């Protein structure tokens, strides 16, 4: 039988499933994020180890014993963009692990979890709406995550708006990654590559403060980096200030 801690984690994962794209770890959830959503204290030095004793291990073992989809693969390290080794070893997987992992996420999305949860976990308060532009306070945070580094690498550190690549000492280059639909409240944009753009510091600030509009046809695109028009339209409607 699934314990209370494991059930709470399951409810969070089931609530997040509609946003998940199998094989796209950037759409999954990090160990620390699960702590934040459930208000859990950090009990171990590493977030993953902490979560294991707060329901993750019991949930994983429960899915295995009941031959259910391995939904705990949705919880990953935001450093490696992979679940811990324990996820694969629990299910005795040592070959073709990435294909198996993707398949389990696909099964998790298609599976009816309703008999195993007591309530539908709401990750966003029901009354949360995007406020009028004049009520939005912006805090600029320059994040350096594996995903942001990937976006910058794909674009050779070149601003996708103006084409500038800032030269640094020792032959290095500098750029910043911007989330077109901002993360966190009130926008709650996703932390996925389709919602990110590589920019120079000047255009990063201009985007944050709504000083410019984004036009997809004017952006400089590189192979393997596609930007969703959904997020461009969101920026132009809710962030840009004509």
pLDDT, residue 130, reads 42
pLDDT, residue 184, reads 79
pLDDT, residue 232, reads 96
pLDDT, residue 120, reads 58
pLDDT, residue 81, reads 87
pLDDT, residue 148, reads 85
pTM for the complete prediction?
Answer: 0.53
pLDDT, residue 127, reads 37
pLDDT tens-place values along the chain, 242 residues long = 899 999 999 999 999 999 999 988 989 999 999 999 999 999 998 999 999 999 999 999 999 999 999 999 999 998 888 998 899 999 999 888 999 999 999 999 999 999 998 765 555 443 334 444 443 334 444 455 778 888 998 999 999 999 998 998 888 888 999 999 998 778 989 989 999 999 999 999 899 889 999 999 999 988 788 899 999 999 999 999 87
Q: What is the phi/psi pair of residue 93, to 5°? A: -110, 125
Q: What is the phi/psi pair of residue 63, to 5°? A: -65, -40
Q: What angle do CA 39, 42, 47 make, to 5 degrees?
A: 105
d(C-alpha 154, C-alpha 127), whole Å: 38
pLDDT, residue 103, reads 95
Crossing angle of helices 31-38 and 4-16, rounded to 10°: 110
pLDDT, residue 241, reads 86
**Counting runs of H as helices and runs of E as strands, what totals does the chain give?**
9, 6
Task: Tell whether the torsion through CA atoms of 242, 144, 98 and 122 is positive or negative.
Answer: negative
Q: Which of 224, 201, 204, 61 is nearest to 138 (CA)?
A: 204
């Amino acid at each position: 039988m699934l314990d209370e801690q494991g059930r709470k984690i399951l409810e969070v994962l089931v609530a997040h499933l509609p946003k998940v794209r199998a094989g796209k770890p950037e759409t999954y959830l990090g160990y620390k994020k699960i702590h934040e959503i459930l208000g859990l204290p950090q009990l171990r030095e590493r977030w993953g180890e902490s979560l294991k004793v707060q329901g993750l291990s019991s949930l994983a073992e429960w899915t295995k014993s009941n031959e259910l989809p391995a939904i705990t693969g949705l919880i990953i390290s935001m450093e490696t963009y992979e679940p811990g080794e324990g996820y694969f070893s629990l299910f005795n997987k040592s070959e073709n692990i990435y294909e198996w992992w993707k398949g389990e996420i696909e099964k998790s999305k298609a599976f009816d979890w309703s008999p195993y949860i007591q309530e539908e976990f709401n990750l966003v308060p029901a009354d949360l709406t995007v406020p009028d532009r004049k009520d939005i306070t912006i805090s600029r945070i320059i994040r350096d995550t594996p995903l942001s580094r990937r976006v910058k690498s794909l674009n050779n550190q070149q601003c996708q708006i103006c084409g500038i690549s800032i030269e640094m000492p020792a032959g290095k280059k500098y750029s910043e990654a911007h989330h077109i639909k901002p993360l966190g409240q009130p926008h709650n944009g996703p932390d996925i590559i389709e919602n990110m753009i590589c920019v120079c510091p000047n255009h990063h600030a201009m985007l944050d403060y709504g000083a410019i509009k984004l036009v997809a046809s004017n952006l400089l695109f590189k192979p393997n980096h596609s930007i969703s028009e959904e997020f461009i339209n969101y920026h132009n409607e809710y962030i840009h200030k004509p």
